[in-house]
Every structure is written in C-alpha cells, then in structure tokens.
Structure 1
Amino acid sequence: MDLPNSCLPHKPADINASYDAAISENPANRHTSASSRKKRAVAWHTKYWAPGRTLRIAFLNGSQAFKDGVKNAASNWLPHINLKFDFVEGEVGDIRIRAEPGTYWSKVGTDALLVEEGPTMVISDWMLQPKLFAHYVMHEFGHALGAEHEHLHPEANIPWNKPAVYEAHWVPEDADEDDLRRKDVDERYFNLLDPSEVNYSSYDPKSIMHYEIRQAWTHGDFQIFLNFVLSEKDKAFMAKAYPYPEETSE
C-alpha cells in the first residue's frame, strides 16, 4: 500500500535538559497547570521561543529552489506570531534544516537548542508538487514553533480501525505491545497526548498539524484529508503563544 508521508515524532531524550532550555529561553514556558500529577522528573512545560526574538534558520544543504520554497511556505506563519525569521547559510542557527529525500521531522520548539550539531529539522527535497511541499514545510515549522501533532490531541475521538492501520504498516497480526513496528505505529497514530502535559485548544481536524486519516483506517464514515493551509485555530493558537506587547494608553 502507498502510505502517506508523515513526520517522525522527535521527543527529547532528557526531559530535564528540555525543561532547562525552555525556561532559559522563555520563562513563560514554566508549567502553569494545577494538576498534581508527577509523572516526570520535572514539571511539564511548553517549548515556545521568546516572543519578539529573531530565529536564525540555517540551511545545511539543498538547492536554491528548495531554500526558496522553504522560505515562502514558512513565511505563512509570520503574520500570526511575534517572531522574525532570518534565513542563513552554514552550520550555525537556532533551527538548522537539512534536505533529505522522503524524510520529514523537526524538534519541537526549544528542544532544538539541545542539538549541538547537525539538523534540528529535515524536509524532503522532493518538490514536484509545490502544494504538497508547502504543506510539509508549514507542518514542520509548526513543530519548530512548539506545536504537537493534532491527531494526537487529548480530545481527538478518531474511530480507528487499529488492525487495518497495523496491516497497512506491515505490523504482524500476532505482534505484541513490545513489537517495534507496532510501537512505532502506536506512537504515530494512537497514543494521545496527556491533557495534563500539553497546552491545547479545542481539537481541530483542519489543522496543518493533522495527519491524513484514510477512510480504510477507521470505522464508519470518517476520514481527514491532508490540510494545505493554516487553519484559523492554527493561527489563533500561535498568536497566543507568540503575542505582541499590549499597547498602553498614555
């Protein structure tokens, strides 16, 4: 079966280092929930960059067409956030992009600061379909700005036909929960985010951060087509994460 391209989840190996980097960058990333759950060594935190700052975004490789395509697509976020993007060449950048065929992933927000060298984002250089390419760029930049996958939203109630999804991803029928291929599928599609550990608005099937969900993978009449533009909730979510200073009257 021809599977849709999907970005790989990239979680930090050290949650304490992730917390320290996030708070150092933006003190507002500190946990603000009243939840008493303590499942991790430190409190849950957001991973937003400091509003008002300029993110240096380095291209580690790629053609000029690739770089121009990334710049154009990523700029769709800019009208909705109090950040600037400064695209540069070379090895130094807050975000570092590598072109790699058939691969998509990004560190989430300030977790990019934990990567001392090499890419913090990888985008396929396959550009035969500009609309699709732009989707993946906006999706990965959503992660780079601190957003998680929308289909893993705590309130998502997708009627999954799990055996069909496992079969499509070549997971053996007798695979147990420790099977690596099954664990990968569970991580990509089924393991919803803990509501006590994420900052979220209402579930948005139109989000650029949502995977394509095929009809054959669900029960009943349910499917999600790939979204090619930022939704209104995408814009509102990021505007709240990266606000402009409030105007003061004299």
Structure 2
Amino acid sequence: MRTTFLVIVLLLMRNDAWSFVVYDDSKIWNQDSITFYFLDGTSQQKNEVKRFSQLWQRYTGIKFNFTNKKPSFFNFKKFYKISFKGKNNESTNGAINGLIQFGNLSDNIIFRKTTILHEFGHMLGLAHEHQRQDRPNYLDNKQLVTACMKNQQQSRAWCNENLFKKFYKKVFIQSEYDPNSIMHYDISNITSKDSETNSNIPESLNNSLSFTDKFYIAMLYNPKLDKKTLKKMHKQDIREQQQFEAKANAE
C-alpha cells in the first residue's frame, strides 16, 4: 500500500523540485513496523528513546518495536541498531539495516529529546534542512564554520559536512524552507549564542517537530491523516511540549 502511494506522490510532484523532505525515494520505508535493537545503554537512556520517538510514530503510523535481543540471522525485514557509545550523535539514512548512535547526549532533557527526534528523522529518510540548496543567504557565511569548530570542538571537515555544505540533488517532494524543522540545526546553539555570526540569523524553534515536518512525513507514510486532523494533533503537541519544557526548566 505504501509503495502505491509513493508512486502517486511521484507523479504529482514537479520533476524540477529542489526543496525537500527526502532526497532519495529508495530510502523510504515500506514496512508497517521497524525493530530497533539496543546494543547498550542504561534503562533511562532506552526509556527516553522509546518515549520521545513516539511522536514520529504518531504521524507515520509505523510501529516502532524495541528490544535488547540481537537481530535474528533469518530476519528479512530491515532494522536499526541503537548504541549510546561513541563521540557523536548520528544516524544512517533511511530504509536500510542501519545504526543510530547517541554518543553525545546532553545533560538537558529538552536537548536530549531534540536529538532523539532529529536522529530518528534521519532514520526515516530525512536530510538536514539547513543544507538544502535554496536556504537563506545568511547560512552561506563561512564564519559559521569557524564558530562551529570553536563551540562544538569539531573538525573543520565535520562542520563543513554537517553545517555549511549544500546539497544539490534533485528530490521528488517540494516543500518550503522551514527554519523550525527538527532537521534544521539550531544555528545559535551550534555556533554559540554569543557569536557575532548570529547577528543576522533569526531565532528558530527546533525543539520538536514543526507542522511542516508532520505534514510531509504524514504525506509519505500516513496519507489517511487529513490536514484538519493534523492541525488538531499539532495544537495538542504544542501544549504538551510547553508543559514538558516548563517542567524540565523548573527541575
């Protein structure tokens, strides 16, 4: 059923579209469920991944199954492994037997939620919003790379690859640029809020899924969700996010 819908989407979208949610339609999942195998991690870490990733399940309609067992040799469905080791937070992209690494989760639960949602977005096939070809000119400032290296203590290559580099690939879904997307880095956080490079960068809200994130991910995976229902669900999410952040900031 998902395959049929994707074909319809492809026919409806312009072939010369450069804005995106997904670059490669082969990275889109064609499964009703995805199993995630925890390779390590504490009970708290695992429970937060299960808890926060529910938001993606809500809009994709895909069931996420989590287990501490090892993948079966006779497992014919694509799956993901999850590890909390390493130095970075990163994920392979899309519907493959992939790996999500949460090696640098924040002490702040709000940022932990943001990171988990962001990496699960990659798992679902999404790319970085701030690296799209039609991004605003202020993101083309090379000083962002220097500020990124200083504040994130990352290499120039990492900052170029994950922040500054643009993607010029064609895509099959057209969306407007969304600075509030969960797939968009909070530039002020990456380069530090005191950085002079942030003077021309407008404030964005990237702590959870934006309405555009939800609209397009539902278009891909859960087309039964109409726009009216999506708006109602989004309002509920906003209230819950506000309560979540208020509680987190009070602790």
Question: TM-score normalised by the shorter chain: which range applies?
Answer: 0.5 to 0.7
Is there any run of 5+ residues in structure 1 with no aligned partner, and where?
1-24, 36-42, 172-180
How much does 1:233 deviate? 0.6
Aligned partner of residue 55 in structure 1, secondary structure: strand
1:45 to 25, 42, 46: 25
1:6-30 CA distance string (max 9 Å, x none): xxxxxxxxxxxxxxxxxxx957489
1:103 to 88, 113, 120: 88
User: Higher helix share goes to which structure?
Assistant: 2
Pairwise CA RMSD of aligned residues? 3.2
1:61 to 23, 31, 40: 40
Is there any run of 5+ residues in structure 2 with no aligned partner, and where?
17-22, 72-77, 226-251
Q: Distance in 2 between matches of 1:186 and 1:231?
A: 25
Label 1:232 to 1:71 Cα distance change in 2 as closer, same or farther (>3 A): same
Q: Match for residue 236 of structure 2?
A: none
Q: Distance in 1 between matches of 2:224 and 2:149?
A: 50
**Percent of residue pairs identical:** 24
Is 1:155 aligned to residue 134 of structure 2? yes
Label 1:213 to 1:158 Cα distance change in 2 as closer, same or farther (>3 A): farther
Label 1:152 to 1:90 Cα distance change in 2 as closer, same or farther (>3 A): same
Is 1:82 aligned to residue 61 of structure 2? yes
Q: Distance in 2 between matches of 1:204 and 1:218?
A: 20
Aligned partner of residue 36 in structure 2, secondary structure: strand
Q: Match for residue 209 of structure 1?
A: 183
Q: Distance in 1 between matches of 2:125 and 2:210?
A: 16
Which one is further off, 198-207 or 210-219?
210-219
Q: Which amino acid aligns with 1:50?
A: N
Aligned partner of residue 101 in structure 2, secondary structure: strand
Structure 1 contact 149–209 (Cα < 8 Å) conserved = yes
Report the count of equivalent residues. 200
Structure 1 contact 56–88 (Cα < 8 Å) conserved = yes
Q: Which amino acid aligns with 2:215?
A: A
Which one is further off, 148-157 or 184-193?
184-193
Label 1:108 to 1:168 Cα distance change in 2 as closer, same or farther (>3 A): same
Label 1:207 to 1:84 Cα distance change in 2 as closer, same or farther (>3 A): same
Q: Which amino acid aligns with 1:130?
A: I
Structure-to-structure mapping, 1:1-250, within 5 angstroms: 26=3, 28=6, 34=15, 45-50=25-30, 53-92=32-71, 94-100=79-85, 102-110=87-95, 112-113=96-97, 115=98, 120-124=99-103, 126=105, 128-160=107-139, 162-170=141-149, 181-194=155-168, 196-197=170-171, 199-214=173-188, 216=195, 218=197, 221-225=200-204, 227-244=206-223
Label 1:219 to 1:130 Cα distance change in 2 as closer, same or farther (>3 A): closer
Q: Distance in 1 between matches of 2:102 and 2:56?
A: 17
